[in-house]
Chain A
Amino acid sequence: MGTIAETIFILALRQSISIRRVAVLLLLAAIPLVIAIVSEILNIEWDGDSTQGFIQRLIFNTGLPLIALIVAAPVFADEIEDRTLTNLMLSPIARWQISIPKMLAAVFIVAIPLAITTFASVLLVIQDDAYSAAIVGAFGILIGSIAFVSLFAFVGTLTTRAVVFGIVYVFGFEALISSAIPGLKYVSISGNTLSIMQELNSTLIDAPISGSNQLPPIEYAIIALLTVIILSNIATIWRLKRMDVH
């Protein structure tokens, strides 16, 4: 017999893996790899700016938060909507035993395909020290996934329209505004994730893309991401304790 955490983790995996959602997920995760493979076949040279644009804007500012949104926002929102959350809430388990396994299941679903395609893409795009850069790329996906999933899962406990909020956040803030307005990278999950990656491998995250902002310092980035992760999960647990379950 599995533990309660394992039971809820597997339940959350099964809830998240519908055919349609997996298809969308794999399609989005495959985009960087397809671009990298096509560039390789066509012998397209990657200069510094295009490499950084590919990794920073396509993968970390847009792809990662979008996939995290698709997976994490429904983790609680769907259960509230279809009223299956009562099955968990009427069980003799602490609320963190519901939220943490669900969050980890979502991270698993987001990080595995995207870490694989990021790893392979970086191997194809980066010339120097490619293997190390690819590992850092996959690691960046993992930590970015944890932060985004924690945030979106919490929003999903507040509203069943979490996806709408998330789309505005991903395309409006992470993809556009945080790069355009000086200083906003400090409050961007992608920006702080990229900062940690830059510290680990400066070939992969070389410099700010032209017209983009400076990344936050590493110490700040670690604290900022930990704050997002911890506060989001505490807020989710608090919300589960306080909410009326319809």
Chain B
Amino acid sequence: MQTRSEINNHAGNDAIVSLDSVSKWFGNVVAVSDITLNIGSGITGLLGPNGAGKTTLLRMICGLYSSSEGTVRLLETDPRTDHNVYKRIGIMTENESAYEFMTGLEFVRLSARLKDLRREESHLRNAIERVDMSFALDRKISTYSRGMRQRIRLAAALVGDPELLILDEPLNGADPTQRLRFQEILHQTADEGRSVIISSHILEEVEDVSDSVVLVVNGKLAAQGDFHAIRAALDDRPYHVKIECSDPKQLGGELAKQPAVQSIQFDPDGSIVVLTTNVAVLQLDLPVLAQRNNVRLTRIQPIDDSLESVFSYLVEG
């Protein structure tokens, strides 16, 4: 994992995105503060808690926002002035910004036409098949579920096989099956030699797809680097997990014997708060212990698993 100063010194020649001392403020509110970073090829996860400035950063990278200070380069051009760069990029913004009166096919076709693609129909078919939306092509977007909207918007971004995909919180509203399919598409895209920047406020969402991660907290760059190094740092970190079950005393006693459990506390509301140094082992052990002791688990909640606390740990630790 690189610290900010290391990143500043790491000027990549093959950077697909380059930010140099970029800031963005809206009135008195500073959304992004003095970020310098290079994003190379492959799949990069842009992570940060809600309100951290991820969307503002991505919108500046895409050219939707101007920067208040600093320069943004996307595929070696300024996206605010060189609109031809959008021929090489597929972008899916956070908002569900699809034309409600259109069918799915019309929406993807619009994207192809705006990119002035040759062999339009083959591009359309290819993009739509990749997101498994062939079955609902002729339905109006207004009748789509949230997950279907995300998929048809992804198809619109994929049309023309862009060399870079920029996806802002694409998994919002997706069910587990859709998430898996989505991850497959991202892997395929990377295997084809294309790059992806994907933002999320949920670490696990990008865990299986990202080669590297950019962490943003409070509008500032907290860290950037290999995902696995960051994950390893996270795994060493003690977690508090709150457990609600039918017999807290029985389960608490059993949990206390587990090597992964550091301490146990019984809350007045009848729940158990476990401090563990290995949350992965606890995840595996807990159902087994509950079943063995005939205890019914009703709720398991990591209580300090927010990205903000993770980032604080990483940055301060």
Binding site for B on A (CB under 8 A): 1-2, 4, 7, 11, 14-15, 82-95, 241-242, 244-246
CB distance from A236 to the nearest CB of B (A): 16
Contact B87 A87 (CB under 8 A): no
- Contact between A7 and B83 (Cβ–Cβ < 8 Å)? no
CB distance from A19 to the nearest CB of B (A): 11
B64 at the interface (CB under 8 A from A): yes
Interface assignment of B65: CB less than 8 Å from any CB of chain A? yes
30 cross-chain CB contacts under 8 A? A1-B113, A2-B113, A4-B116, A7-B114, A11-B99, A14-B101, A14-B102, A83-B97, A84-B99, A85-B97, A86-B64, A86-B91, A86-B95, A87-B111, A87-B114, A87-B156, A89-B64, A90-B86, A90-B89, A90-B91, A92-B84, A92-B85, A92-B86, A92-B115, A94-B83, A242-B66, A244-B64, A244-B65, A245-B59, A246-B64
- In angstroms, how far is the closest chain A Cβ from the Cβ of B62? 6
Question: CA of A19 to CA of B111 in the docked complex: distance in angstroms?
Answer: 26
Chain B residues positioned under 8 Å from A85 (CB to CB): 97
Instruction: Determine the residue in chain B with the shortest Cβ distance to A11.
Output: B110
Find chain A residues with CB under 8 A from B200 CB. none
A7 close to B86 (CB less than 8 A): no
The interface of chain B, by Cβ under 8 A from chain A, is 59, 62-66, 80, 83-87, 89, 91, 93, 95, 97-99, 101-102, 110-111, 113-116, 120, 156
Which residues of chain B have C-beta atoms less than 8 A from A241's C-beta? 80
Instruction: State A129–B193 Cα separation when bound (angstroms).
Output: 72
Which of A15, A82, A94, A242 has most chain B Cβ within 10 Å?
Answer: A82
Docked Cα-Cα span, A149 to B223, in Å, equals 50
Are B98 and A91 within 8 A (Cβ)? no
- Of B66, B95, B110, B114, which contacts A92 at CB under 8 A? B114
Q: Which of A14, A83, A93, A246 contacts B114 (CB 8 A)?
A: A93
Q: Is the CB of A86 within 8 A of B115?
A: no
Task: Please judge, given known A-B contacts A244-B64, A244-B66, whether A88 and B97 are in contact too, CB under 8 Å.
Answer: no
Q: Within the assembled complex, what's the spacing in Å between the Cα atoms of A52 and B41?
A: 69
Q: Is the CB of B115 within 8 A of A91?
A: yes
**Known contacts A89-B64, A92-B86; A84 and B98 CB within 8 A of each other:** yes
Q: Given A93-B83, A244-B66, A83–B95 Cβ distance below 8 Å?
A: yes
A89 — which chain B residues lie within 8 A by C-beta? Answer: 63-64
| Chain A residues whose CB sits within 8 angstroms of the CB of B93 once the complex forms | 83, 86, 90
In contact, A7 and B97 (Cβ under 8 angstroms): no
Q: How far is the CA of A11 from the CA of B107 in the complex (A)?
A: 10
**B99, A87: Cβ atoms closer than 8 Å:** yes
Set of chain B residues within 8 Å of A87, measured between Cβ atoms: 97-99, 110-111, 114, 156
Who on chain B is nearest to A244 by CB? B65
Contact residues in B for A11 (Cβ distance below 8 Å): 99, 110
- Complex Cα gap A217–B93 (Å): 51
The distance in angstroms between the C-alpha atoms of A2 and B62, with both chains bound, is: 26
**Besides A86-B93, A87-B114, 19 new A-B residue pairs in contact (Cβ under 8 A), listed by A number:** A1-B120, A4-B113, A4-B114, A7-B110, A15-B99, A83-B95, A86-B91, A86-B97, A87-B99, A87-B110, A90-B93, A91-B114, A92-B83, A94-B83, A95-B83, A244-B59, A244-B64, A244-B66, A245-B65
* Contact of B116 with A92 in the complex, beta carbons under 8 Å: yes
Q: Do B113 and A7 have beta carbons less than 8 Å apart?
A: yes
Q: How far is the CA of A11 from the CA of B91 in the complex (A)?
A: 20
Min C-beta distance of B125 to chain A, whole Å: 15
Q: What's the minimum C-beta distance from B185 to chain A, rounded to whole angstroms?
A: 19
Provide the residues of chain B in CB contact with A244, threshold 8 Å: 59, 64-66
**Residue ID in chain A nearest B101 by CB atoms:** A14
Query: What are the residues of chain B within 8 A of A86 when measuring CB–CB?
Result: 64, 91, 93, 95, 97
Interchain nearest-CB distance for A89 vs B (Å): 6
| Smallest beta-carbon distance B115→chain A, Å | 6
